[in-house]
């Protein structure tokens, strides 16, 4: 039977204390919880829904370093090592395979951009191979004629996010973390000695109030993390994005690599069962918590997919989906210490590209909590980049009351 993270609140107190409180049960928060629990820290993690059910579970499943900004590559390389030992870490393989990631060029300008990136990323050891001309046609007979070349990162890969992300939570729970699902934070603050969070737990009998106190607080609340940051006077220009995803019926296996396109617009991969997962365009929000794929965007995506991969002609789409992802204007995450409150750490805003680096981001947050530093350079991801007008000294939260999360 598949293990689920469960909590019987009647078996424990309505007031909890911890060394570290984590808000958000996606792959970043649960990775942090796992690392901290294995190090002997007392961890409580609150998740408003089910762990791994939001952006960490609805994403495409690409496990790629290629195409990331250079500032993200040290983090991506650390994550690459974590993914290599995934089965030992979380107890399942999560359908993770190092299939390779091939980024396609549809023009000479696209190919030049891929060549430039290959050179720029060379110091990080991605091992990118450029493929074009006759070699392209020999090695990729399944490609449509619109493609002129591409760049292959042989050790990038793919995995099933619906398996991997919940498994991090289950592993954290086995390591001793207290995971509480269907528990939404309502108020958060710092009273001078500890962080205090009031949350609302949904149970079979209704709703129940839960109070948690902790020495450290990690904000990994995904698309809703901006609200928690704002409670500590760290407003950031967050906005939501909604991926447009689809999966086909199983067809004979033909696609060895996960594919992307220079400039975006479409991405696809084929799993061992034969289904092809593809995405492109945007879904739409139903409300702040839910999103759906767009009929128009799906119809626009399909002819592009057939142009690139003629084998998809006449293949049936069997499911479409979307979700809510947190974005920032510069398409870089926020990862690191708060600029206003000691003991508060942020890890959010991964802009639809957090699945591969998520396990490393969680470890970095755990490093910051335990050691006050990380060996991975993360200055580029500081929340301070959005707060240039007010110095840290202007804030004194120790004497302030708790603030509501609206």
Average pLDDT, the chain: 92
Is the residue at 266 inside a domain? yes
Give per-residue pLDDT as tens, 261-297.
999 889 999 999 999 999 999 999 998 889 999 999 9
Is the residue at 7 inside a domain? no
Which helix (H) or strand (E) segment holds residue 377: the answer is none
pLDDT of amino acid 388: 63
pLDDT band at residue 211, thresholds of 50, 70 and 90? very high
DSSP label of 401: P
Give per-residue pLDDT as tens, 94-132.
999 999 999 999 999 999 999 999 999 999 999 999 999
Domain boundary among 281, 299, 327: 327
Q: Which CATH number is 114's domain given?
A: 3.30.9.10
From start to end of 124-182, where are the E strands? 129-132, 149-153, 157-158, 178-180
Q: Does 219 share its domain with 252? A: no
Asked if 152 and 258 touch (Cβ cutoff 8 Å), the reply is no
Give the mean model confidence (pLDDT) for residues 44-64.
97
Is the residue at 1 inside a domain? no
Is the residue at 43 inside a domain? yes
- Axis crossing angle, helix 161-174 with helix 27-38, rounded to the nearest 10: 30
What predicted TM-score, i.e. pTM, was given to this entire model? 0.92
Q: Does 126 share its domain with 179? A: no
Is the residue at 39 inside a domain? yes
d(CA 27, CA 31) in angstroms, rounded, equals 6
- In the structure encoding, which two tokens stand for residue 117, read together? 């990136």
Number of domains the chain contains: 2
Give per-residue pLDDT as tens, 337-394.
999 999 999 999 999 999 999 999 999 999 999 999 999 999 999 999 998 633 333 3
Domain boundary among 299, 327, 355: 327
Asked if 304 and 280 touch (Cβ cutoff 8 Å), the reply is yes
Q: Does 378 share its domain with 252? A: no
Q: Does 244 share its domain with 323? A: yes
Domain boundary among 327, 354, 371: 327
**Boundaries of domain holding 129:** 98-156+240-327
Interstrand relation of 243-248 and 317-321 (parallel, antiparallel or unpaired)? antiparallel
Q: Does 125 share its domain with 171? A: no
């Amino acid at each position: 039977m598949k293990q689920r993270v469960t909590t019987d609140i009647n078996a424990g107190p309505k007031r909890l204390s911890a060394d570290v409180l984590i808000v958000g049960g996606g792959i970043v928060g649960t990775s942090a919880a796992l690392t901290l629990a294995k190090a002997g820290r007392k961890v409580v993690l609150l998740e408003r829904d089910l762990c791994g059910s939001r952006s960490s579970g609805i994403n495409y499943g690409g496990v790629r370093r290629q195409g990331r900004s250079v500032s993200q590559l040290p983090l991506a390389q650390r994550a690459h090592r974590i993914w290599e030992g995934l089965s030992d870490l979380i107890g399942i393989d999560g359908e993770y395979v190092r299939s390779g990631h091939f980024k396609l060029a549809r023009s000479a300008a696209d190919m030049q951009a891929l060549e430039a990136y290959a050179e720029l990323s060379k110091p990080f050891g991605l091992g990118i191979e450029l493929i074009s001309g006759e070699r392209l046609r020999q090695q990729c007979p399944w490609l449509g004629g619109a493609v002129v070349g591409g760049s292959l990162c042989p050790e990038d890969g793919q995995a099933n996010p619906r398996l991997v992300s919940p498994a991090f939570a289950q592993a954290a729970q086995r390591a001793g973390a207290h995971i509480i699902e269907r528990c939404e934070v309502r108020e958060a603050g710092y009273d001078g000695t500890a962080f205090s969070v009031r949350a609302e737990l949904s149970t079979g009998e209704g709703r129940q109030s839960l109070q948690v106190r902790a020495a450290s607080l990690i904000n990994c609340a995904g698309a809703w993390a901006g609200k928690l940051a704002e409670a500590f006077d760290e407003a950031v220009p967050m906005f939501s994005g909604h991926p447009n995803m689809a999966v086909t019926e199983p067809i004979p296996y033909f696609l060895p690599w996960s594919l992307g396109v220079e400039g975006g617009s479409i991405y696809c991969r084929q799993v061992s069962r034969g289904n092809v997962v593809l995405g492109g365009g945007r879904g739409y929000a139903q409300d702040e918590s839910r999103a759906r794929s767009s009929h128009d965007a799906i119809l626009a995506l399909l002819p592009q997919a057939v142009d690139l991969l003629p084998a998809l002609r006449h293949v049936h789409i069997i499911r479409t989906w979307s979700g809510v992802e947190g974005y920032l204007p510069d398409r870089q995450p926020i990862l690191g210490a708060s600029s206003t409150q000691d003991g508060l750490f942020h890890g959010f805003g991964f802009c639809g590209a957090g699945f591969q680096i998520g396990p490393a981001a969680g470890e970095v947050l755990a490093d910051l909590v335990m050691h006050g530093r990380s060996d991975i350079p993360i200055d580029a991801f500081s929340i301070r980049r959005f707060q240039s007008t007010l110095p840290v000294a202007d804030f004194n939260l120790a004497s302030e009351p708790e603030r509501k999360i609206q």
